[in-house]
Structure 1
Amino acid sequence: MKQRIKIWFHSGNSPEIREFTLRKSILICFLILFIACTGTVLYVGHDYYLLKQADHDNAALLETVANQKNELKDQRRQIQIFAGEIQGLKDQIAKLGRLENQVRLIADIDKSGRSSGIWGIGGVSKVDLDQEIPLDAHHHALIREMHHQVKQIQSVADKEKLDFNDLIDKLTKKKNLLASSPSIKPVSGIITSPFGYRKSPFTGKRTFHSGLDISNRMGTEIVSTATGKVVFAGRKTSYGNVVIIDHGYGKATKYAHVRDILVHKNQQVKRGEVIATLGNTGRTTGPHLHYEVLVNGTPVNPSKYILN
């Protein structure tokens, strides 16, 4: 006799009890089928979950790769910009070199032996950096060349710094030399007696006149013809009231027969600064300035030093 399984159901709304009878084999088959279906659903669901997870990870990975590609392009674009800036620095250094050469030419100052020039050995490379490399191409060669040229630029910049310091030092010395060189007329007026041999107005004999005599009315302002230091301001026998200024570099100027002395000994004066007024003190035949230029103590022709 086949085994059967009875199942009773009771509903709370009815007093009746229902009975179902199932064969044991059918129940077992149903349970097996249920378990198989449940297992299949779970397997398919798990596989679907893994597939969705992989799809999500793949999308995230693709987004990361895309971001990295964009970042790489931005970096390469920056590299190209830097290459352009390096090229600009090279051009600026070249301009500075040309400017330095122009200044040296104008000021007649030779270049020191410390410099090897802007271009050539030890200088900046003449090779232009390729800024037009496609963004999807490798930039390794460009980066290496940039590093190389940056080092060269630094080296040349250090040399140019030395050259400019040398130039400034020499220009300063030249400026001081020029400022110390008598170059203007000490007083307005007429030159009544030039530098050199002449007939003495007092003795009538041929004598050497060591300066220029410039005549004008009494009280006319007399200026220093160069920057310097007053080393004498007082009276000297036949010269009358005298101002002597030391300009350095072996140069000095003398202003004689002045009426009023407006400076004092050891006073620093500038070119064009009023130092006295024209007079006729000492041995003179009339109001005038006796002006001398001395180089290493020897009188020279003042006319050669008057540029105005």
Structure 2
Amino acid sequence: MTRKTYTIMVVPDETTKVRRYRVPKLFVRGILFASLIIVAGLAYLLTDYYHVRKMVSGFDRLRLETRQQKKQLLTYVKTINDIQTEMGRLRHFDTKLRVMANLDSVVYPEQIMGVGGENPVSFNPMESEVSFQDQALLKGMTNELSRIKSDTDIQERSFQELVEYLQDQKSLLASTPSIWPVRGWETSGFGYRTSPFTGRREMHKGVDVATRTGTPIIAPADGVVIFAGREGGFGNLVVLDHGYGIVTRYGHCSKLKVKIGQKIKRGDVIGLVGTTGRSTGPHLHYEVAVNGVAVNPMRYILN
């Protein structure tokens, strides 16, 4: 008959009686099975604990990265706000320049399309937590950056137009006969007068400025010499083309200091005062014509 117990003998020492203990085999097997269950359970718990720790560490790292990204995002928001402020200043400056230059104002896309649709993101850092969570802030930033890019392109074209206009105005100002060619006494003005030679009333298309013979005659504006020689009653004559339809004439010179085709700058000496041609004394006959029509030189002289 198979035994259903295990005998455990305990021998303390040589003089002590041996002790015997009978333990049911089922109990021993139960102990072993329970031990295996406990060991397996501990192994599972340790493994699960390791994975949990790893996940917690990952979440901590992700939380840190998210916090850093939020901080960086808010930095971008501030940068966009600064750009918006600067763009506003540029618009205001552009508007002032255009008013001064009598140019049409620039129209931006939002002025054409109007305002509507979703509420724009205000980029308030105090609201950034909610905005970041529902991605409204990111969407708003994308839309705002796109609008800023569009406005920047328009502003660049506007400034380029202003630069071209101002350069043209600079060229026009440089080509405008705004200073006296000589200093002296005006003896005859622009308009109808009694001719000192015929005694008849006739049109005097310039102004006569009396001064000493040999006084330098200076160009009142930038231009090109289109005539330098003798011409009838004007005697020695210099004619300058200043562009923009403006032509000036300098008669009765004693000596010419320029030649045809020469480029002249305002202040350059083009001749000397004299009394050549039909003249009653040393003086400069000075004419200004715009698109072939004689005009009063005093309209342009600033000094």
Q: Do the aligned partners of 1:97 and 1:118 also contact (CA within 8 Å) in 2?
A: no
What are the residue-to-residue correspondences of 1:98-137 with 2, within 5 Å? 98-111=92-105, 115-117=106-108, 119-122=110-113, 127=120, 128-135=122-129
Alignment-derived partner of residue 60 in structure 1: 54
**What is the aligned residue count?**
285
Alignment root-mean-square deviation, CA: 3.3
Paired-residue identity, %: 36
1:78 aligns with 2:46: no
Q: CA deviation at 1:188?
A: 1.7
Alignment-derived partner of residue 4 in structure 1: none
TM-score by length of 1: 0.78
Cα distance in 1 between the residues matched to 2:166 and 2:200: 47
Alignment-derived partner of residue 90 in structure 1: 84
1:297 aligns with 2:301: no
Give the secondary-structure state (helix, strand or coil) at the position aligned to 1:246. strand
Call closer, same or farther: CA 1:173–1:134 in 2, change over 3 Å. Answer: closer
TM-score by length of 2: 0.79
Q: What amino acid is aligned across from residue 296 of structure 2 in structure 1? A: N
Q: CA deviation at 1:119?
A: 4.9
1:214 aligns with 2:205: no
Q: Do the aligned partners of 1:122 and 1:152 also contact (CA within 8 Å) in 2?
A: no
Q: What amino acid is aligned across from residue 104 of structure 1 in structure 2? A: R
Cα distance in 2 between the residues matched to 1:79 and 1:36: 62
Q: Do the aligned partners of 2:74 and 2:128 also contact (CA within 8 Å) in 1?
A: no
Residues 131-157 of structure 1: CA deviation (Å, up to 9, x unaligned):
222547615111111112222222222
Call closer, same or farther: CA 1:305–1:30 in 2, change over 3 Å. Answer: same
Call closer, same or farther: CA 1:108–1:134 in 2, change over 3 Å. Answer: closer
Cα distance in 1 between the residues matched to 2:87 and 2:181: 45
Q: CA deviation at 1:73?
A: 1.5
Q: CA deviation at 1:227?
A: 1.9
Alignment-derived partner of residue 192 in structure 2: 197
Cα distance in 2 between the residues matched to 1:234 and 1:121: 60
Residues 163-217 of structure 1: CA deviation (Å, up to 9, x unaligned):
3333333333333333322211111222121112223333443332211111222
Q: CA deviation at 1:72?
A: 0.8
Give the secondary-structure state (helix, strand or coil) at the position aligned to 1:244. strand
Any unmatched runs of 5+ in structure 1?
A: 1-17
Q: Do the aligned partners of 1:124 and 1:153 also contact (CA within 8 Å) in 2?
A: no
Any unmatched runs of 5+ in structure 2?
A: 1-13
Q: What amino acid is aligned across from residue 91 of structure 1 in structure 2? A: T
Q: Choose from 127, 141, 148 the match for 2:143.
A: 148
Q: Which moved more, 1:171-180 or 1:211-220?
A: 171-180
Call closer, same or farther: CA 1:102–1:184 in 2, change over 3 Å. Answer: same
Q: What amino acid is aligned across from residue 203 of structure 2 in structure 1? A: F
Q: What amino acid is aligned across from residue 102 of structure 1 in structure 2? A: K
Q: Which moved more, 1:39-48 or 1:86-95?
A: 39-48
Q: CA deviation at 1:219?
A: 2.6
1:51 aligns with 2:45: yes
Call closer, same or farther: CA 1:201–1:97 in 2, change over 3 Å. Answer: same
Cα distance in 2 between the residues matched to 1:183 and 1:189: 16
Q: What amino acid is aligned across from residue 138 of structure 1 in structure 2? A: Q
Q: What amino acid is aligned across from residue 120 of structure 1 in structure 2? A: Q
Call closer, same or farther: CA 1:286–1:94 in 2, change over 3 Å. Answer: same
